[in-house]
Amino acid sequence: METALVLPFVMAMVLVLVQVGLLVRDHILIVHATREAARAAAVEPTTESAASAALAATGLDPGRLQVETSGSRTAGGLLRVTVRYRPEPAVPIVGRFFPSMALEEALTIRVE
């Protein structure tokens, strides 16, 4: 009888932990994508080069990944690269509690 009462809560906690683990993984991928986008933008300071580098660095969904650049595009200037990603909840039950999460990372680099 006690197992029937406790098991739903234990399963819910396991599902929440799985979703949090996936969000942490996505955040690590976003940090990596931002670094790669910044490296590409340092050499060729265009949003297109940064976006293609960010997409090539990760296996994330291109429809959910957004790359922006702002700042100076001249040699020696500072360029800021911002990467945003809206992950889709992998666990449907947990997704109801976190419907619209957005992960964002930014990095400022010197243009070569």
Say if residue 96's pLDDT is above 80.
no
How many other C-beta atoms are found inside a 10 Å radius of the C-beta of residue 33?
25
Domain spans, the chain: 2-110
Tokens 């976006």 locate to 51
Average pLDDT, integer, range 53-70: 92
Provide the pLDDT for residue 1.
Answer: 64
Say if residue 72's pLDDT is above 80.
yes
Among candidates 75, 66, 83, 80, which has minimal Cα distance to 44?
75
The percentage of the chain sitting over the pLDDT mark of 90, rounded to a whole number, equals 62
What's the pTM?
A: 0.85
Select the more confidently predicted residue: 24 or 93: 24
pLDDT digits (tens, 9 = 90+) for 9-22: 999 889 889 888 98
Provide the pLDDT for residue 48.
Answer: 94
Cα 105 from Cα 60, distance rounded (Å): 15
pLDDT digits (tens, 9 = 90+) for 27-48: 999 999 999 999 999 999 899 9
